[in-house]
Amino acid sequence: MEEFDLATLLSSNEKTLIRVLQNYARTNDLVIFVLDNNDKLMSNALGEAAEKSILADLSKVKNFAQLSTDRFKYNIELTDVPIRISTINQMVGKLYVAHDVSGKPSPESLQLLQRLQKQAEFLKYLFENMARLLVENRGIDDFLVKQPVNVDDMIEELDDNEAIALQQLKGLSTSNRAS
């Protein structure tokens, strides 16, 4: 089984993607961060966050979906978009775009959220196209992690006829004899 390594992509070519996102965040007064499919933080917050903001120390966040739900509690606005690697047509994570806010929800908060959503869509397009170029440049194999598949677990999930056939194939592939 193969899985795309988002960390390798982010650190490839002298961290090109991280540098572009970081410069965009600084220029537009945003905080950007990347999560993998398991909601594991893949990069520290890119951009400047208020010192007391939850965005200043994302390592404390245990559940990013909850962060989105409780954004008023934390005085932030944020949005996320999925990121996909077109070469393998696979979703590999999420890109979050956030901004600190002060006070209670207001019409300005809605306008800010709409602006963040537009910026997130632009960043998604930028990220995915830069990723495509990086993958084409280095080759897809540099970004794939091969994980062994436990055949015995797969056999248990099959019905009896399929399990017997797979067990016979496993026996043939691990022995030197082929009849």
Same domain for 58 and 113, yes or no, is yes
**93/153 same-domain check:** no
Q: Looking at the structure, do residues 31 and 72 belong to the same domain, yes or no? A: yes
Would 115 be classed as within a structural domain? yes
Cα distance between residue 25 and residue 84, in whole Å: 21
DSSP string of 119-136, one letter each residue? HHHHHHHHHHHHHHHHHH
Q: What end-to-end distance do the CA atoms of the chain give, in Å?
A: 28
Residue 179 lies inside a defined structural domain of this protein = no
Is residue 179 scored above 60 in pLDDT?
no
- What is the Cα–Cα distance from 78 to 70, expressed in whole angstroms? 10
| Residue 96 included in any domain | yes
**Environment class of 49 (CB within 10 Å of its CB; exposed 0-12, middle 13-18, buried 19+):** buried
- Predicted confidence (pLDDT) at residue 91 exceeds the cutoff of 50: yes
Note whether 8 and 80 are same-domain residues. Answer: yes
Where does 28-106 have alpha helices with state H?
64-69
Same domain, 124 and 81: yes
List phi, psi (to 5°) of 95: -115, 120
Residue located via tokens 């090109």 = 16
Question: In this predicted model, what pLDDT tens digit does every residue of 108-147 receive, in sequence order?
Answer: 888 999 999 999 999 999 999 999 999 999 898 888 887 7
What tokens were used for 116? 């963040």
Mean pLDDT confidence for 101-113? 84
| pLDDT of 166 | 64
- The domain that holds 134 is classified in CATH as 3.30.450
* Among the ranges given (44-58, 61-75, 158-172), the one the predictor scored with the smallest mean pLDDT: 158-172
Is 78 part of any domain? yes
With pLDDT > 90 as the criterion, what percentage of the chain qualifies? Answer: 40
- Looking at the structure, do residues 110 and 170 belong to the same domain, yes or no? no
Residue 155: which of 141, 166, 169, 145 has the closest Cα? 166
The answer on 75 and 157 residing in a single domain is no
Same domain, 155 and 113: no
Q: In what order do the strands lie in the sheet with 31-36?
A: 46-47, 31-36, 90-100, 76-85
Do residues 10 and 87 both lie within one domain? yes
The total number of structural domains that make up the chain: 2
3 state DSSP class of 156: helix
Domain-located, residue 128: yes
Tell me the pLDDT tens digit for each residue of 4-48. Answer: 889 899 998 889 999 999 999 999 999 999 999 988 899 888 988
Q: 162 pLDDT exceeds 90?
A: no
Picking from 31-45, 84-98, 111-125, 154-168, which range would have the lowest pLDDT averaged per residue? 154-168
pLDDT of residue 48: 86
For 105, half-sphere exposure in the C-beta direction (CA atoms, 13 angstrom radius) is 8
**Residue 173 pLDDT greater than 60, yes or no:** no
Same domain, 95 and 40: yes
Quickly state the pLDDT bin for 177 (edges 50, 70, 90): very low
Residue 54 in domain: yes
> Quick check: 178 pLDDT over 50?
no
The pTM score is 0.77
Same domain assignment for residues 155 and 139? no
- What rounded mean pLDDT belongs to the chain? 84
Residues 26 and 114 in one domain: yes
- 169 within a domain of the structure (yes/no): yes
* Domain boundaries, position 84: 2-143
